[in-house]
């Protein structure tokens, strides 16, 4: 679990760097290939230590994919950024609900069946990226560099970014502890695996239900962002 998290973190960073300095389409293609190949191989080899090694590679690719999805989201010009990322987050949690529900049903049948279904979804993702992401997107940094000289960041803006990062880090530390410990704790209590799978399904359902309620609070946010991504603090 630790190495998977570290691999995803490196994937996030490398995906963002490659998006800014290399090619958005090639970076997206690299991410899905790094994710798909290990999952396909897990159908045939899923013993120790291959399972751990392939899952680490898969997580590295997923880290790139997550960054690329967010980066492409910033390029959507006909909708506000808040609208785009809310729908991305909602879609992610719909996937969590369906995925964890399927795992709870399929794993008692065969672990090979689980990896086969997962591989089918990854292959579909790869085809979608290869055929529909074939556009080059300039990063916000590149656009600003070509449009105008760099402007020194305002102290209030920098403070806001730092506070957001600390908040996200705190949430992820708590979430990772819950995610890592809960499976072992429920197993030691004699609770079957499908119940653990159902727990994740309920978690996703709660998020899907709660997200529209959170969106209604957005007009009361302490800052406002225009379509160009410029944030004006109150």
CATH of segment(s) 2-151+192-233? 1.20.1250.20
pLDDT for residue 153: 52
Q: Which of 37, 70, 69, 52 is nearest to 7 (CA)?
A: 52
Which positions ≥6 away from 207 have C-beta within 8 Å? 93, 96
Question: What Å distances lie between residue 136 and 11, 20, 33, 68, 145, CA to CA?
Answer: 20, 11, 18, 12, 17
Q: What is the pLDDT of residues 140-165, one digit of tens each?
A: 555 554 444 454 556 777 888 888 88
Give CA–CA dist 197/104, Å, rounded: 5
Look at 124 and 150; give whichever has higher pLDDT: 124
Q: What is the pLDDT of residues 91-104, one digit of tens each?
A: 888 888 888 888 88
pTM, two decimal places: 0.75
8 Å CB contact between 57 and 34: yes
Handedness of CA 17, 22, 24, 28 (dihedral sign): negative
| Segment (H or E) for 199 | helix 193-215
């Amino acid at each position: 679990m630790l190495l998977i998290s570290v691999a995803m973190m490196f994937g996030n960073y490398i995906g963002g760097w490659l998006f800014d300095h290399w090619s958005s389409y090639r970076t997206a293609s690299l991410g899905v290939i790094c994710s798909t190949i290990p999952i396909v191989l897990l159908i045939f080899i899923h013993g120790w230590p291959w399972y751990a090694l392939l899952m680490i590679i898969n997580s590295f690719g997923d880290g790139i994919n997550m960054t690329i999805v967010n980066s492409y989201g910033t390029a959507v010009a006909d909708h506000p950024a808040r609208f785009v990322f809310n729908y991305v987050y909602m879609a992610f949690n719909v996937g969590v609900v369906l995925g964890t529900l399927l795992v709870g049903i399929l794993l008692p049948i065969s672990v090979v069946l689980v990896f086969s279904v997962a591989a089918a979804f990854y292959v579909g993702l790869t085809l979608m990226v290869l055929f529909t992401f074939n556009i080059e997107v300039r990063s916000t940094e590149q656009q600003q560099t070509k449009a105008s000289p760099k402007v020194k960041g305002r102290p209030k803006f920098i403070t806001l970014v730092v506070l957001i990062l600390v908040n996200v880090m705190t949430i992820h530390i708590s979430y990772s502890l819950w995610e890592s410990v809960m499976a072992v704790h429920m197993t030691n209590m004699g609770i079957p695996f499908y119940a653990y799978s159902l727990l994740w399904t309920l978690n996703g359902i709660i998020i899907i239900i709660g997200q529209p309620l959170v969106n209604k609070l957005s007009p009361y946010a302490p800052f406002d962002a225009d379509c160009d991504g410029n944030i004006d603090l109150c």
